[in-house]
Structure 1
Amino acid sequence: MPIRIKVTQENKSGRNIKFHDNFTGADMTRAQFVKQIKNGKYKNYTVKKINGLDTPVSKPDKTKDNNLG
């Protein structure tokens, strides 16, 4: 199974800032992806506070299919 979410852009410090949903074709900013995760659309992902900023991350499990690529 292909990876669902792909990181398409990082900032200079390496923070993921743009994402692409390979299943729906949707492009999202970090804030849009965070909102979708909080609304329950992406059940295999969660939001962590990193350096004071809500950050999307894959939920820890044994599969690589839901890792941010």
Structure 2
Amino acid sequence: MSKKERLKVTKESGTGLNKMFKDTKTGRTMTRGKTADAIEAGKYPGYHVMKKDNKRIPRSNPGTNNLG
């Protein structure tokens, strides 16, 4: 049985870029930038931030389900 993902995508751009996220434990909604800040601060183990086209993109670590 897999552990429930802590971050869920709640809004995407027309190109599919994840823009808004919800913390499924606290109910807090955050922008992509605030989510990336929190991941980089160590608040979300199991996630990392990749950089693409000068944007920070929150991602699940390998071996876990993608962001829901």
The question of 1:19 aligning with 2:21 is answered: yes
Instruction: Render the CA deviation track for 1:40-66: whole Å, top value 9, x for unaligned.
Output: 0001100001122111000001x43xx
Runs of 4+ in 1 over 6 A off after TM superposition: none
Which has the higher relative contact order, 1 or 2, with Cα contacts under 8 A spaced 6 or more apart? 1
Q: 2:59 aligns with which of 50, 57, 60?
A: 57
Structure 1 length normalisation: TM-score? Answer: 0.87
Count of paired positions: 66
Q: What do the CA deviations read for 1:13-67 (whole angstroms, capped 9, x no partner)? A: 1100000011111100000000000100001100001122111000001x43xx3
Q: Which moved more, 1:50-59 or 1:28-37?
A: 50-59
Runs (5+) with no aligned partner, structure 1: none
CA distance in 2 between counterparts of 1:40 and 1:31 reads: 14
Matches within 5 A, 1:1-69: 1-61=3-63, 63-64=64-65, 67-69=66-68
Letter in 1 for 2:51: K
What amino acid is the match of 1:68? Answer: L
Percent identity between matched residues is: 42
